[in-house]
Amino acid sequence: METREERNKQLEKDDKKYLWHPFTQMQDYIREKPLIIEEGRGCILKDIYGNEYLDGVSSLWTNVHGHGKEKLDRAIKRQLEKVAHSTLLGLSNIPAIRCAKKLIEIAPKGLTRVFYSDNGSTAVEIALKMAFQYQQQAPDGDPRKIKFISLKNAYHGDTIGAVSVGGIDLFHATYRTLLFESLKAESPYCYRCTFGKTYPSCNLECLKQMEELMESHAHEVAALIIEPLVQGAAGMLVQPPNYLKKVRELCTRYNIIMIADEVAVGFGKTGRMFACEHEDVVPDIMALAKGLSGGYLPLAATLTSEKIYEGFLGEYEEFKTFFHGHTYTGNPLACAVAIANIEVFEKERVIVKLQGKIEYFRERLQPFAFLAHVGEVRQCGFMVGIELVADKESREPFPLKVKTGHHVILEARRRGLIIRPLGDVIVLMPPLGITTDEIDRLCEIVYKSVRMVTEKD
């Protein structure tokens, strides 16, 4: 029988031999000692050697209430005793029905239908296809409307349609010849304003550019897609107040379908259940994933208004059906845990209790602004981006080859914290169930790690 030490060494060897990790330069990865997670409880993850780490990014922005949440565990076990999976193509199942009802009850009023898939990219892909097909066949659609507007610096997923409306060259430029054309509006990146202006005296110049884009292209634009309040993968770019509301008004004025990509920002991450709620915005289509299942199982949903849904109704021979589906659409296990997740939000008053922790988090982040190589600290609820710069006055970034952000997260890992950078933006997005003591620990480790890496001289 192999010893635990032998098992661990074999796991590390096999990890490097067989796995290809996402968004990871494997040439670098194989040079480093891998971190292999074995257990999780609350906000703590434990590796195969028994070392404990605070989960500072919610296992890539998905975990909500902490690992091993008893109510969520029980929901999966109960459903597993009944059926693990049954197709939703022409059939239904109890958890899928009940989860859809729960989602509509908590979603912005005006969204009435739920189309399931299994991740954020597919939820967005579905939204794009729905908007496009609606324009082609609905009584008030316009077949000339075949384009999409999205923001520069946008990230909506990794499937071809989602990449087509993305705007991060690092992720998307390689695939340019595969993509369909989309129109790009300027992103409200206030720290590095494209127009060289300062908020609020800028009067939202970026929004004026978006309106000009709509005015010129409304006749050919099917929909606009936006990450409400925060552009996550762009480096936690927080939109100015009322920006989202004005985007909604522009979409209405120019008869453009509004798609809200709430994959990253939904389920409490911004301090409300959905980011759109902050400005009383109701999109025509909303994409959800990540926190939908509490971070337990792959599950996504694309919610639409009744108007969008009715645009697909017709006789069989008219072929107005939405010809799209996934094998695990409406998976009973995933839907069962999603129901339990929403019930935890309701019964434990998660959003109400979260407000104090958001303010505490904000206070603990204040000292970062005085660090020599921190250009800006951006926060919206539990979503935080700390942008590191080589020169604070000029805002000059560190050279790419230095890999400053990567070295910061490795230093944090040595101190017992798992975080992940977006270039040289250090991202913090802990589970909503984190305690104030754990927030203290999180901020202390990140602060010391940033200093250790950037102030070596």
How many whole angstroms separate alpha carbon 289 and alpha carbon 115?
12
- Evaluate whether 214 touches 138 at the Cβ level (below 8 Å): no
The pLDDT, as a whole number, for residue 173 is 87
Query: Does the 73-347 domain belong in CATH 3.40.1160.10?
Result: no
DSSP annotation of 114 reads E
Confidence of residue 457 (pLDDT cuts 50, 70, 90): low
DSSP string, 385-398: EEEE-SBTTTTBPP
Residues 274-332: pLDDT tens digits? 999 999 999 999 999 999 999 999 999 999 999 999 999 999 999 999 999 999 999 99
The pLDDT, as a whole number, for residue 410 is 96
Tell whether the model's pLDDT for residue 176 goes beyond 60. Answer: yes
Ranges of H-type helices in 165-281: 169-172, 205-217, 243-253
Show the tokens assigned to 136.
């082609």
DSSP annotation of 42 reads B
How many whole angstroms separate alpha carbon 207 and alpha carbon 280?
18
What are the backbone angles phi and psi of residue 406, rounded to the nearest 5°?
-65, -40
The pLDDT, as a whole number, for residue 456 is 74
How many whole angstroms separate alpha carbon 441 and alpha carbon 240?
30
* Residue that has been written with the tokens 């299994």 in this structure: 118
Confidence of residue 136 (pLDDT cuts 50, 70, 90): very high
Residues 189-223: pLDDT tens digits? 999 999 999 999 999 999 999 999 999 999 999 99
Confidence of residue 110 (pLDDT cuts 50, 70, 90): very high
Residues 404-426: pLDDT tens digits? 999 999 999 999 999 999 999 99
How many whole angstroms separate alpha carbon 127 and alpha carbon 59?
25
Tell whether the model's pLDDT for residue 373 goes beyond 60. Answer: yes
Which residues make up the CATH 3.90.1150.10 domain(s) of the chain? Answer: 35-65+350-454
For the chain, give the mean pLDDT. 97
Contacts of 41 (CB under 8 A, 6+ apart): 66, 67, 68
Residues 433-449: pLDDT tens digits? 999 999 999 999 999 99
Residues 21-73: pLDDT tens digits? 999 999 999 999 999 999 999 999 999 999 999 999 999 999 999 999 999 99
Nearest to 424 by CA among 236, 254, 250: 236
Mean pLDDT to the nearest integer, 164-173: 89
Question: What percent of the chain lies above the pLDDT cut of 70?
Answer: 100
β pairing state of 285-288 and 257-261: parallel
Residues 338-349: pLDDT tens digits? 999 999 999 999
Ranges of H-type helices in 296-372: 306-310, 332-347, 350-365
Pick the CATH number of 35-65+350-454 from 3.40.50.2300, 3.60.15.10, 3.90.245.10, 3.90.1150.10: 3.90.1150.10
Partner residues linked to 376 by β-bridges: 387
* Terminal C-alpha separation, the chain: 50
Which residues make up the CATH 3.40.640.10 domain(s) of the chain? Answer: 73-347
Residue 370 burial (CB count, 10 A): 7
DSSP string, 222-233: EEEEE-SSEETT
Confidence of residue 172 (pLDDT cuts 50, 70, 90): confident
For residue 176, which amino acid is it? R
Show the tokens assigned to 160.
């071809």
